[in-house]
Structure 1
Amino acid sequence: MAKYFVRFQYKNQIDWGMVVGENILPLQFGDKTTKDVLAGLQKKSIKPNSKSKNSIRREVVKVLSPITAPCQVICQGANYKKHSLESGLDPKSKTYNLFFTKSDFSLTSAIGDVVRPKHVELLDYEIELGIVFGKDIATPLNEKSYNPSDYIAALFIANDISARDIQLPQLQWYKGKSYRTFFPTGPILAVLEPEDYKYIESLELNLTVNGKIRQSAKANQMVFPPKESIAELSSFTNIRVGDVLLTGTPAGCALKAPGKLKQIFASFFPEHKKWELFIKGQKNRTEYLQPGDTIKATIRTSDGRLDLGEQILQVKQG
Structure 2
Amino acid sequence: MTAYVINPPVETMVPVEGGGQFPVRRIYCVGRNYADHAREMGADPDREAPFFFSKPRDAVATRPEVAYPPATQDLHHEVELVLALGAGGSDLSPERAKMLIYGAAVGVDLTRRDLQAEAKKTGRPWDASKGFDQSAPIGLIRPGQSPESGEISLSVNGETRQSGDLNQMIWSSAEVVSHLSTLFRLEPGDLIYTGTPAGVGPVVSGDRVEAIVSNLPPLRFTLI
Q: 1:212 to 1:232 in 2, by over 3 A?
A: same
* 1:178 is aligned to 2:92: no
The structure richer in helix per residue is 1
Q: CA deviation at 1:103?
A: 1.5
2: distance between equivalents of 1:15 and 1:114?
A: 15
Higher RCO structure (Cα 8 Å, ≥6 apart) = 2
1:272-301 deviation digits (Å, cap 9, x = unpaired): xxxxxxxxxxxxxxxx1111111111112x
Within the candidate set 98, 104, 111, 2:57 is matched to 104
2: distance between equivalents of 1:236 and 1:75?
A: 13
Q: 1:291 to 1:147 in 2, by over 3 A?
A: same
CA contact under 8 A between 2:30 and 2:52: conserved in structure 1? yes
Q: 1:18 to 1:213 in 2, by over 3 A?
A: closer
Partner in structure 1 of residue 72 of structure 2: 120
Q: CA deviation at 1:15?
A: 11
Q: 1:141 to 1:296 in 2, by over 3 A?
A: same
Partner in structure 1 of residue 180 of structure 2: 233
TM-score by length of 1: 0.61
1:175-198 deviation digits (Å, cap 9, x = unpaired): 211211111111x21100xxx55x
TM-score by length of 2: 0.85
- Could you list the runs of 4 or more consecutive aligned residues of structure 1 that deviate by over 6 angstroms after TM superposition? 14-17
Identity of aligned residues (%): 27
Partner in structure 2 of residue 168 of structure 1: 117
CA contact under 8 A between 2:148 and 2:167: conserved in structure 1? yes
Q: Structure 2: which 5+ runs fail to align?
A: 1-12
Q: CA deviation at 1:114?
A: 2.4
Q: Which has the larger radius of gyration?
A: 1
1:137-175 deviation digits (Å, cap 9, x = unpaired): 1x31234xx344421110011100000111220244222
Partner in structure 1 of residue 6 of structure 2: none
Q: SS at 1:119's partner residue?
A: coil
CA contact under 8 A between 1:105 and 1:178: conserved in structure 2? no
Within the candidate set 161, 167, 170, 1:220 is matched to 167
Aligned length: 208
Q: Structure 1: which 5+ runs fail to align?
A: 1-13, 20-25, 28-32, 35-67, 255-287, 301-306
Amino acid at match of 1:118: P
Partner in structure 1 of residue 38 of structure 2: 84
Q: SS at 2:174's partner residue?
A: helix
Partner in structure 2 of residue 202 of structure 1: 149
